[in-house]
Amino acid sequence: MQGDEACAEGAIVAGCRLFAGYPITPSTEIAERMARRLPEVGGVFIQMEDELASIALIIGASYAGVKAMTATSGPGFSLMQENLGLAAMTEAPIVLVNVMRGGPSTGQPTRASQGDVMQARWGSHGDYETIALAPYSVQEMFDLTIEAFNLAEQYRVPVILLSDATLGHMREKVVIKLPSEVKIVNRKKPRVPPEEFEPFKPDEDLVPPMACFGEGYRIHVTGLTHDFKGYPKSTDPRIQDQLVRRLCDKIRLNADKIVKMDEYFMSDAKVVMVAYGTPARSAIRAVKIARSKGLKVGLVRLITVWPFPYNYFREL
């Protein structure tokens, strides 16, 4: 199947039951597949009026307790940046797929690029952290979509799947695993009665348990700087300090647990190639040929792009 289709199937297996999106090449096949598949599993597909509304809806759906996803490409990703920041600030577990195409602006709709890597990290305003994964095969479009949902649920953070037009439209054999065959992570739920619950009071891992609308807990959600109860405290420097540090540290301090990569021929490598996504496919081939010629070359294929594995590279 296509990479885009494998992504949709991975989302279904991960438990995604809502997709909101606006069509854009080369990600539209994800929406098309979700439109057909979600009703079969009791889910909801909504085509929205634009990308701003698409990400806004999945934030709301996440707060209603539903695993939710949207998919887009560069121009739509730009439109989603404001609400990507809202998702980071409100700690809404969501998955955003960006099937990258050539830019800037509308650029090359049908051609692949990796031009949105920095936007995935720094596109919204303020200090925050996201997680971004870069699949290199159609199988990983399936597997890493599941991983994206798991990370979003575990860390209450928006997770971005950075694919590209080549991978989205590539067809390869895919092993579709059943939900019982994969690890599925669900968000932590409150362990205290509603009268004691503070919706943004973190556990030791810096991630607050998440009550959802309709579960009997009092929840106030705002993009403003807020205290543990969720109430705005936008003029209190201590609250801002505490909140921003926690939003960043829950990812930074867990980076070693989050980061994944594949190493090829690294044990005695004198020259190291780094690649991720589609170029990694050519890089693997190039390194194998180089090895056959006796060249001591290794390859690091990044699976997690953000957080970036700074410690790993410093120690090389």
Partner 1 sequence: MVAEMNYGQLVGEVERCAGGKPVHFIPKFGGDPHSPEELLAVVEEACGR
Residues of this chain that bind partner 1 (CB under 8 A) = 101-102, 108, 110-115, 117-118, 164-166, 270-279, 281-283, 285-287, 289-290, 293, 295-297, 302, 305, 308, 310, 313-314, 316
Cβ 298 to partner 1, closest distance in Å?
10
Q: Please tell me the number of Cα atoms within 13 Å of 109 on its side-chain side.
A: 7
Nearer Cβ to partner 1 (52/286): 286
Cβ 194 to partner 1, closest distance in Å?
44
Residue of 7, 9, 5, 4 lying closest to 176 (CA atoms): 9
Euclidean distance between CA atoms 89 and 234, whole angstroms: 13
Can you tell me which residue has the tokens 């054999």? 173
Euclidean distance between CA atoms 136 and 124, whole angstroms: 26
Nearer Cβ to partner 1 (177/281): 281
Q: Collect all residues with Cβ–Cβ distance below 8 Å to 246 and sequence separation of at least 6.
A: 202, 206
Query: What SS3 class is residue 52?
Result: helix
State the pairing for strand pair 297-302/261-264. Answer: antiparallel
Query: What SS3 class is residue 298?
Result: strand
Cβ 173 to partner 1, closest distance in Å?
20
Quote the crossing angle between the two packed helices 51-63 and 81-90, to the nearest 10°.
10
Beta bridge partners of 217: none
Cβ 75 to partner 1, closest distance in Å?
16
Nearer Cβ to partner 1 (213/313): 313
Beta bridge partners of 264: 299
Nearer Cβ to partner 1 (3/102): 102
Euclidean distance between CA atoms 178 and 35, whole angstroms: 20
Q: Which helix (H) or strand (E) holds 44?
A: strand 44-47
Nearer Cβ to partner 1 (90/124): 124
Nearer Cβ to partner 1 (113/225): 113
Query: What SS3 class is residue 41?
Result: helix
Nearer Cβ to partner 1 (58/273): 273
